[in-house]
Amino acid sequence: MIYKACIPCAGTGSRLGSLTKNINKSLISIANRPALSHIIEKFPLPTIIVIALGYKGDLVEEFLKHCYPKRQFIFVQVSKYDGPGSGLGLSLLACKSYLQEPFVFVSCDTLVEEKIPSPRLNWMGYANVTNLYPYRTLDISADRVTCIRQKGEGEAKLQKAYIGLAGVKDYQHFWEAMEQGGEAAIRDGETYGMRSLLPFNVAAHKFNWCDTGNKEALVMTRKRFHKSDDPIILEKASEKIWFVGTKVVKFSVDKEFIRNRIKRAKELEGFVPAVIGVGRNMYSYMKVEGKILSNAITLPLFERLLTCCTDLWKVKTLTKTQESAFQQICLSFYRDKTLKRVDQFYKTFNRVDSRVVINGLETNELQALLNMVDWKWLAKGLPGRFHGDLHLENILWLEKEQKFIFLDWRQDFGGELSTGDIYYDLAKLLHGLIVSHELIANECYSINWQEESIVFDFYRKHILVRCEEYFYKWLFRSGFDVRKVKLLTSLIYLNIAALHHEPYSLLLFALGKQMLAEVLEKTSA
């Protein structure tokens, strides 16, 4: 049976708080794919899918067109998706003219494991849930829905949780009820129309259900969908990496970020995957089959990586004018950006600059430490071709081809697309050797931040410790300034602390401040 499906994606996702500040809730990542992908792929390819758009709707539309070019979508703009008068029912009614036939309704925060039935008959999906209070519930008798109850009315022994998934065969009666339902239909959404179908029989279908509509449920859903071999990606509010079919999709709220990433892919040709798809807020490349280097690393392989990176870091000779401009870019990138990010950290996490003992080391105020940095010396970088986010999670080892592929390259270096500071890549590599994303994702760290004392600890992989030791020796032999690499690494931790979630953000900041203090202390000694 060929039919249509309706997925309303107009709402603001307010129950998810800051997670939907930059994206629609249907694009929240589950197992490194948007929730919407898990839903879309449940439907046969011929299914025409009607999508109601509102909040951040342009991103939803771009994602679907970018990742599912063989599917047919109908996008419907909802005039009012927030505030008084808005509601799920309004989104549905906006789609009415495209759903004059049997269809399946599915909420954009509803994920199920089973195959979704066609609308050959009227049906509603339910699941066994311990706490029914947040959900509308169903009275069920002989596999038929006999009553649809409002939120808070359900009793665990008598009702089942309705999961926002339904088949509508008798669509004429459904739409007639929705049209006549007024404010109640706007508020209740599809359940208002489904009540009108109870006299025509509505089957009850049980599902293994995962909810992504609130923070607590989202945490459980992510754990349920996680696979041990999934790439370790530490989520950022303004950027996402998604794996959809054979594509890897990079998303950013910043359109210039995306444009520059695409341009830089040409600069790094041969070292990074070729871009195959381009959009306003995303680009894509074919998924490369290889091992994330953090999972494959050995000391000999790390030595090979450094040889490969030497080819990547194509040193450039600059004129005196270009060199002066480059040093000014480095100064702004290191000093000015650090000051802004530190201020952002204090505001975001409600912290203040102070003298504090960190893991037994008495440290001065951060501003005092930053004042001790010789910024002009630090800004005398090594100009050349650069990656910009060079750590082991962004490097693939292709064993069959015996080569490395570099992922998630930086979009620019202080606005420059072709020339950056090779020292920044060296520092990025060191920062990844010290802090393992895998262990952080598994919460193998602790941080206790008090007013006068900070104590933190984190697990490390023995092989990464060995690689770090080798790295210092290699830097010295290769003529690099080890102290400069360490100082830049401390600044990297301070910079990225503002971009991550608490308590990981606190760990990064404390580690960065401690490392900065140690580097400066050894210098003064």
Q: Kindly report, residue by residue over 253-312, the tens digit of the pLDDT.
A: 999 999 999 999 999 999 999 999 999 999 999 999 899 999 999 999 999 999 999 999
> What's the Cα-to-Cα distance from 137 to each of 91, 119, 169, 186, 199, rounded to whole Å?
22, 21, 21, 18, 18
Instruction: Choose the weakest-confidence range: 73-82, 218-227, 321-330.
Output: 218-227
Give phi and psi for 375, each to the nearest 5. -65, -35
Split at pLDDT 50, 70, 90, the class of 523 is low
247 phi and psi, to 5 degrees? Answer: -105, 145
Contact at 8 Å (CB) between 420 and 339?
no
- Mean pLDDT taken over the chain: 94
- Taking alpha carbons only, the member of 247, 285, 243 closest to residue 264 is 285
Cite the residue boundaries of each domain of the chain with CATH code 3.90.550.10.
4-225
b/e sequence 262-294, b meaning 16+ C-beta within 10 Å: bebbeebeebbbebebebebbbbbeeeebebbb
pLDDT at position 473, please?
98
Examine residue 34 and say whether the peptide bond preceding it is cis (omega within 30 degrees of 0).
no
Give me the sheet containing 403-406, strands edge to edge.
291-292, 395-398, 403-406
Render the burial of 377-394: b for 16+ CB within 10 Å, e for the rest.
Answer: ebbbbbbbbbbbbbbbbb
**What class is the 4-225 domain?**
alpha beta
> What are the φ and ψ backbone dihedral angles of 245, each rounded to 5 degrees?
60, -125
**Local confidence band at 1 (pLDDT 50, 70, 90 cut-offs):** confident
Residue 154: its pLDDT value, please? 75
Q: How far apart are CA 193 and CA 167, in angstroms?
A: 11
* pLDDT score of 525: 45
Q: What is the CATH number of domain 289-524?
A: 3.90.1200
Which amino acid makes up residue 129? Answer: V
Q: Could you tell me where the DSSP H helices lie in 32-170?
A: 35-40, 57-67, 88-94
pTM of the model: 0.83
Nearest in space to 393 (alpha carbons), one of 456, 333, 464, 484: 464
Buried b (16+ CB within 10 A) or exposed e, 416-444: bbbbbbbbbbbbbbbbbbbbbbbbbbeee
Provide the residue count of the chain.
Answer: 525
Q: Are 9 and 57 in contact (CB under 8 A)?
A: yes
Structure-model confidence comparison of residues 92 and 131, the more confident one: 92
Domain span(s) for CATH 3.90.1200 in the chain: 289-524
Q: What is the DSSP string of 326-355?
A: HHHHHHIIIIIHHHHHHHHHHHHHT-----
Count the alpha carbons within 13 Å of 194 in the hemisphere toward its beta carbon. Answer: 34
Phi, psi of 238 (to 5 degrees): -105, -5
pLDDT grade for 131, boundaries at 50, 70 and 90: confident
Residue 524: pLDDT band (50, 70, 90) is low
Q: Which of helix, strand or coil describes residue 190?
A: helix
